[in-house]
Structure 1
Amino acid sequence: MADETESNGELDKGLVVEILDDLDMNLSKVREHGGRADRIVEGMLAHSRDEPGGEETMNVNRVVDEYAKLAYHGLRGTDSAFNVTMVREFDENAGQVTGIARDLSRVFLNIVTNACHATAARREEADASYSPTVTLKTKGHQDHVVVSVRDNGTGIPDSIVRKIFEPFFTTKSGTQGTGLGLSISRDIVVGHGGELEVESEPGEFTEFRIKLLRESNIAEVTSAS
């Protein structure tokens, strides 16, 4: 009888431990999804922001370089093993554009960060010969500037390329992304009278091209929308 009681006690303890483990895992998932929900709400608020801020003139090369560095060091701050080669092919005639610096810098930060993530993902599966690289390129024209961000990461299948600018669509696993970054980025660029395009080859590269007018005509674009 004593052995049976002891056995039942061990079973009860084992069941309690199993339940506690399940509760701990569930709480962890709740925290993760709660954090993602917070980020989605913040993104929605950014989508509907009524006061976009004042326009100013900014040097394209300087802003792209600054926020590329910020993206790189931000990722290094969360993952010390992360590394990527940043290649800069800046046109000295890229010059300046007029727009909302806070918003345009957000576009550059988001797209460069995504490019870095793509190289990190490919690095996990590639052999030692793979060299993660993000190429930043600017090209000045008379009435506009084109900023290109190209990575040699995982690439994007055609079926996904058609969806990546849709709100809440994300290719990132778990709770890493809200699916609002590229949607907001495109809204910002279009709101400045520009264009945001993407080209990709799965397993080879992805390139985002941002066309910005010298004079953004934000008020005119807003009134027409």
Structure 2
Amino acid sequence: MRQRIERLEQGSSRPRAVQPFGVDAIDRHLPGGGLAVGALHEVAGGGNGAIDGAAASLFAAGIAARSRGKVLWCVVRQDLFAPAIAQAGLQPDRVIYVETGDETSLLACFEEGLRHGGLGAVVGEVARLSMTASRRLQLAAESAGGLGIAIRRWRRQADAADFGQPTASVTRWRVTTLPSRPLPVPGVGRARWHLELIRCRAGESADFEVEACDAAGRIALAADVADRPAEAQTWWQSATA
């Protein structure tokens, strides 16, 4: 038993591989400089509306798009719009869709996909995620080195409240849509999000104003934030501290 505990402790102390966002302002808040691979992460919309929920799915799609290999996407509802996630860099030929009848079956498929070990990422859309279920998913991700993303979707306010309960996820993100940046010509600018890192194991919480995923699955700091002079940034940070 002692030897087994020592092996587990040694395994947990090994540095994890990470997948950087490529945005220094975000990566420096994450241990290792990126999103941990071999771990479970949670993503949710900032509100109860469909627009924020779609933004959360696109954020997850961008993360999955930057992984290598096939992506297993597990759903209960039949409303995932493939052309939209393709615009976030996740092409249809990389996605294996699994439709289940209920969330219990979905969690079983989610866990099995993470244990498989040959996938770039495994995504599961769930309303509720208990500590027990999240621990199983986290252990499965650790054992096979997979990247797990739980998209929290809910139909009722009670389900939304469940998002505040603790889980074993390494990070927890919340995505809220913002107005697009005005263009000098008629048209719609690149979508923008208010991205909140509300939990990060061994790291700190933070929030960012970003431009939505491009065709390669990459986000970027919103232009009016990235281009802000250093003096203005210092003033804004002190004013909001």
If the length of structure 2 is used for normalisation, what is the TM-score? 0.24
Larger radius of gyration: 1
Relative to its length, the structure with more strand (as a share) is 2
Q: Tell me which of the two structures has the higher relative contact order, counting C-alpha pairs closer than 8 angstroms and 6 or more residues apart.
A: 2
Relative to its length, the structure with more helix (as a share) is 1
